[in-house]
Amino acid sequence: MLHQEFIHKLEDLLGKDRCTFSPEDMVAYSYDANPEKRAQPEGMVSPKNKEEVAEIMKLAYAYDVPVTPRGGGSGYTGGCVPVQGGIVMAMDRFNRILEIDRDNFIVIVEPGVVVQDLQAEVDRIGQMYPPDPASVAFATIGGNIAENAGGIRAAKYGVTKHYVMGLEVVLPTGEIVRTGSKCVKDVAGYNLTELFVGSEGTLGIITKAVLKVVPKPEARRTMTATFSTLEKAAEAVSAIYATGVRPATLEFLDRISLEAVEKAIAFGAKPEEGALLLIEVDGSDHALDAEVEKIQTACEQCGVITFRKAQSDEDREDLWKARRALSFALCEIATEWEDDDISVPIARIPAMIRKLDQIAERHHIIIANFGHYGDGNIHIGMTTGKNGGPFPMKAKQEVVAAVVELEGRIAAEHGIGCVKVENLHWNIDEPTMNLMRRFKTLLDPKGLLNPGKVMPKG
């Protein structure tokens, strides 16, 4: 229960229009994109500058109130769910692009800027912000930094951490610190920037970010290739990379995913096709035809069944239909799915898929696999069948064990949050976990900032 004096001080600081404590209003701040993990806060505050963020944190520390930062709420692992109550700090008012330094390929933004809006703004001047998660239309920069988000272009361009040059951060105690700079080479002190990237809002609240952008590619080419098995598709991926071509996008769908899409939109998949690769290359227009030819040759050497090239923007949209339709297409198989997000070394994707198939057979469940082949990120959909039903916990643990056996990670781009926190020990040994706890305690002595996330209790 929030102390009345604490509430009055928040209202004096922000005004009653920028904080609310109504139980009805709290419902909107009780969940993210994972509808199963819910917890209501006791209040919501909406600061508009770093000074207000700092004062809120000082008050929270004085009254021992947990604070959960919230961006666009598009995460899947409960990162912005206030599992220990307290207040949610909504960062939607931090929505300005503060500077576009065209000559230095740098932008400075507030954390509430929507990723797609930033991409559109720099696109107008011939530049590109590469991180491109599926939730790009409503995910915010701050949330992407907190989760170290990836997306479909990570195969060539990397993930969010590769574009964060510096940060302004309010620490849990209310101190305001600044890390990094606009400089490409900068070894003035410890690299504190990457300490906050991917920390899921547990170490500090981002109030400003210095981001790198790149020249917008002149052109792109899109193609799909289908194979009888995922192993054949894997051979093709190795053959493509051996040519020296680095695709910007390299997505895959397994047999179950393809069958679901075919049922949903009659995409044209053939019964003998067990895997699909969706490939895009970008760069100088005059060079791309040669790259497409190399990719086609590599696929043909590996037994491609169908190879399609987009000849226009309309063709490109057609080729993307299978990947974009997948989420609703899986409902053709079952109405209830449990999703997971893992990564393994790229060459071990076929082995991971085989293990997942074995788990599915052993537990009489269905597992569909798809995702970002180019960076080893597999998205898993698991269901017990058409009408759903209790999902076997043992199957989930076997998935985790298989990931670890193949030197993979239990979270790729969706974070740990509160959903995976009890499984983190599979990837992080106890001495390393203790070091992480010491970092947390140093910055957040009372453990009030986004508690219950990332690390299990020691």
Domain count, the chain: 3
Distance of CA 398 to the CA centre of its chain: 23
Cα–Cα distance, 202 to 448 (Å, whole number):
9
Query: Average pLDDT for residues 335-355, to the nearest whole number?
Result: 92
pLDDT of residue 335: 85
In which band, very low, low, confident or very high, does the pLDDT at 332 lie, cut at 50, 70 and 90?
confident
* Phi, psi dihedrals of residue 412, rounded to the nearest 5°: -105, -60
- 3-state SS class at 212: strand
Query: Average pLDDT for residues 339-358, to the nearest whole number?
Result: 94
Shared domain for 81 and 104, answered yes or no, is: no
Query: Average pLDDT for residues 387-398, to the nearest whole number?
Result: 82
For residue range 365-374, list pLDDT tens digits in order.
999 999 999 9
- Domain around 209: 97-215
Cα–Cα distance, 443 to 194 (Å, whole number):
15
In which band, very low, low, confident or very high, does the pLDDT at 387 lie, cut at 50, 70 and 90?
low
Shared domain for 313 and 372, answered yes or no, is: yes
> Which one-letter DSSP state was computed for residue 414?
S
Joined tokens for residue 409: 């990670």
Shared domain for 167 and 75, answered yes or no, is: no
pLDDT of residue 348: 94
Q: How many residues does the chain have?
A: 458
Shared domain for 314 and 333, answered yes or no, is: yes
pLDDT of residue 145: 98
Cross-strand bridge partners of residue 107? 100, 211
Shared domain for 170 and 194, answered yes or no, is: yes
For residue range 18-57, list pLDDT tens digits in order.
999 999 999 999 999 887 789 999 999 999 999 999 999 9
In the predicted model, what is the mean pLDDT of the chain? 95
DSSP string, 123-176: HTTTEE---B-TTTTT-BHHHHHHHT--BTTHHHH--GGGGEEEEEEE-TTS-E
Q: Decide: 198 and 148 in contact? Cβ < 8 Å.
A: yes
Long-range contacts formed by 12-16: CB under 8 A, 24+ apart: 13/52, 13/55, 13/56, 13/59, 14/45, 14/46, 14/47, 14/52, 14/56
Domain membership flag for residue 427: no
Shared domain for 295 and 246, answered yes or no, is: yes
Of 363, 390, 405, the one marking the end of a domain is 405
For residue range 232-257, list pLDDT tens digits in order.
999 999 999 999 999 999 999 999 99
Query: Average pLDDT for residues 87-108, to the nearest whole number?
Result: 98
Say whether pLDDT at 378 is over 90. Answer: yes
Return the percent helix, strand and coil in the chain, to nearest 5. Answer: 40, 20, 40
Shared domain for 194 and 223, answered yes or no, is: no
In which band, very low, low, confident or very high, does the pLDDT at 389 lie, cut at 50, 70 and 90?
low
Say whether pLDDT at 457 is over 90. Answer: no
Of 180, 215, 250, the one marking the end of a domain is 215
pTM over 0.85: yes
